[in-house]
Each structure stands twice: as structure tokens, then as C-alpha cells.
Amino acid sequence: SQTIHQWPATLVQPVGSPLSLECTVEGTSNPNLYWYRQAAGRGLQLLFYSVGIGQISSEVPQNLSASRPQDRQFILSSKKLLLSDSGFYLCAWSWGALGIQYFGAGTRLSVL
């Protein structure tokens, strides 16, 4: 069966520090991968998605970037965090036409 791992679960970072959040999927090949951000009590904002290695689509201009160095690995990065980058970050994967997305457990990022 397929599983998705996302880490860390919680992260507290100072303003101006770098960021790296990692997401990996097991049990499937060539999945679509997604990064979302969710503010407290709000909906999901799609940040990036990828349909293959090295293929990244950015949905919202911002201080973040994404990379997909391997088929089942998706990384969210920032060179210098801003206070506004605080939030809950979710990774998800999907496969096939039906496009059901399966989500990781999320990372709670606090930028202080």
C-alpha cells in the first residue's frame, strides 16, 4: 500500500533562517506531488505541484521554492523565512485520472 511521510511535524524558526521541509511517498511510481499551506481555521492554498522529476509548477509568487530531486521526493524550501511564512504545510500525492489526493500529516511552522 502507498504511504506518505512528511517531516518534521513541528518546526520553530527565526526570521531570516532557511527552511527545508521534506515529503516522500512509498508504494507508487511517478505520482503527482503537491505542497499546500493552511492558515489557522482557513482553507488550503496550493503552493506548488509537480508531475515529474524536475517539473515544478508554482501557483503563488512568494518566498518559497520547491524541488523534486527524485521521483517520490518533494522538498519545500526557503532561503530566508518571513513572519508571514508561518502556517501549517501539507504535502499530498495523487496518481491517475481520478486524481484523489492523499495527504501527509503536515508540518506546523512557526516563524518568530
Partner 1 sequence: AQTVTQSQPEMSVQEAETVTLSCTYDTSESDYYLFWYKQPPSRQMILVIRQEAYKQQNATENRFSVNFQKAAKSFSLKISDSQLGDAAMYFCAYKEEYGNKLVFGAGTILRVKS
Instruction: List interacting residues with partner 1 (CB under 8 A).
Output: 32, 34, 38, 41-44, 46, 49, 51, 88, 90, 92, 94, 97-103, 105-106
- Provide the minimum distance between the beta carbon of 59 and partner 1 in the complex, in angstroms, as a whole number: 8
Please list, in sequence order, all residues whose beta carbon lies within 8 angstroms of the beta carbon of residue 6, skipping any fewer than 6 positions away.
Answer: 21, 22, 23, 90, 91, 104, 105, 106, 107
CB 103 within 8 A of CB 33: no
- Provide the minimum distance between the beta carbon of 86 and partner 1 in the complex, in angstroms, as a whole number: 15
- Provide the minimum distance between the beta carbon of 47 and partner 1 in the complex, in angstroms, as a whole number: 12
Q: Is the dihedral of CA 45, 65, 30, 26 positive or negative?
A: negative
Count of helices and strands (H, E) across the chain: 0, 11
Which is nearer to partner 1, 33 or 79 (by Cβ)? 33
Which is nearer to partner 1, 9 or 82 (by Cβ)? 9
Which is nearer to partner 1, 18 or 27 (by Cβ)? 27
